[in-house]
Amino acid sequence: MGNNLKAILAFVPSNKCQKYLLEDLEEMPVDKMVDLSGRQMRRLPVHICSFRELVKLYLSDNNLNYLPPELEQLQNLQILALDFNNFKALPLVVCTLKQLCILYLGNNKLCSLPLELRLLQNLKTLWIESNCLQHLPEVVCELSLLKTLHAGSNALRCLPPQLRGLQELRTIWLSGNLLAEFPPVLLDMPFLEVIDVDRNSIRFFPSLAHLPGLKLVIYDHNPCRNAPKVARGVRRVGRWSEETPEPRKRSGAVIEITLDEKPLLPPAVKTETE
């Protein structure tokens, strides 16, 4: 009943209703963080935008599809979580928050990203997983400081060649897409440390042994006939990895080796350090 009441009151702009939604949060929190996740909100209480020193704002798991223009006042915001909402388009006001370092947009209904996203030149982590993206928006390739890109569970079939320009990128998660081949652009990104192409439709893997920065490649659940070759010390997760070498014929028989330990998986939850 409490959550349903809050969902209704989110539509009511009166100060009394806004304060109820904020649970008497009238002043800037000492830790400069506001977490309104899971409130079933359809509107962001505008009063939040008066906390101009706010650094972290979590709005995950609501029913938001709109953000007020007053959000632009939060020019010190570094972390913004909008995942698990109903956004069909990224509100342009988000692109005015130029100090953002981490932006969570996963589990919405996004089919594209606005060109104005290029204004977020301090962005280091971008989560756009579980949306409706058929192409990786080229504007992502203009985020020069980006270190971590989560783009899994979309409908991506390829990656733009401009991605190689992201020389700060270290981790890219592409699991659960429609990749029919290993993205060629990743072969030209020697600074990558983690590549995840789990659960795609890749049938052949080129050698990754020339990527000096690579530490982990996850390629499981692909209809591949070979494992990607990697440099010594690089961890592979998938068929015929270190624990299960590629089947080799010996005296006419195929020898299979089974896993003795669970493979290292991508992080299940987001962390601020990424």
Q: Is the pLDDT of residue 113 over 60?
A: yes
Digit-coded pLDDT (tens) for 154-180: 999 999 999 999 999 999 999 999 999
- Of 219, 159, 218, nearest in space to 189 by CA: 159
Residue 51 has pLDDT above 50, yes or no: yes
Q: How far apart are CA 52 and CA 231, in angstroms?
A: 48
How far is the C-alpha of 182 from the C-alpha of 195, rounded, in Å? 11
Instruction: Residue count of the chain, please give it.
Output: 274
pLDDT at position 81 over 70: yes
Q: Is residue 133's pLDDT more than 60?
A: yes
Residue 128 has pLDDT above 70, yes or no: yes
Residue at 184: amino acid letter: P
Rounded to the nearest integer, the mean pLDDT of the chain is 86
Instruction: Tell me if residue 211 falls in helix, strand or coil.
Output: coil
pLDDT score of 18 more than 80:
no
Sheet holding 171-173, edge to edge: 33-35, 56-58, 79-81, 102-104, 125-127, 148-150, 171-173, 194-196, 216-218, 235-237
Residue whose token pair is 């070759």: 229
Mean pLDDT score, 242-258: 39
Task: Give the span between the Cα atoms of 201 and 221, in whole angstroms.
Answer: 8
10-13-14-15 Cα dihedral, nearest 10 degrees: 80
Residue 76 has pLDDT above 90, yes or no: yes
Adjacent-strand bridge partners of 218: 196, 237
Q: Please check whether residue 93 is in contact with residue 114, taking contact to mean a CB–CB distance below 8 angstroms.
A: no
Mean pLDDT, rounded, for 60-82: 98
β-pairing verdict for 171-173 and 148-150: parallel
d(CA 46, CA 75): 15
Higher pLDDT, 227 or 265: 227
Tokens of 10: 């989110």
Query: What mean pLDDT do residues 209-238 have?
Result: 96
Please tell me the distance from the alpha carbon of residue 44 to that of residue 21, in angstroms, as a whole number: 9
Between 48 and 11, name the one with better pLDDT. 48
| pLDDT band per the 50, 70, 90 thresholds, residue 29 | confident
User: Would you list the domain boundaries of the chain?
Assistant: 17-112
- Top-tier CATH class for 17-112: alpha beta
pLDDT digits 0-9 by tens, 2-16: 555 555 555 555 555
Burial class (CB in 10 A: 0-12, 13-18, 19+), 251: exposed
What is the per-residue pLDDT for 27?
A: 80
Residues 134 and 140: their CA atoms lie apart, in Å, by 14
Q: What is the pLDDT of residue 22?
A: 61
For the residues of 67-109, what is the DSSP string, one character each?
--GGGGG-TT--EEE--SS--SS--GGGGG-TT--EEE--SS-
Predicted local confidence at residue 19, as pLDDT: 54
pLDDT value at 20 more than 90: no
Q: Which pLDDT belongs to residue 237? A: 95
- Distance (Å, rounded) from C-alpha 186 to C-alpha 239? 21
- E strand residue ranges, the chain: 33-35, 56-58, 79-81, 102-104, 125-127, 148-150, 171-173, 194-196, 216-218, 235-237, 248-250, 253-255
- 161-165, 189-193, 231-235, 257-261, range with the lowest pLDDT: 257-261
Position 239 confidence tier, pLDDT thresholds 50, 70, 90? confident
Percent of the chain, pLDDT > 70? 79
Cβ atoms of 76 and 97 within 8 Å: the answer is no
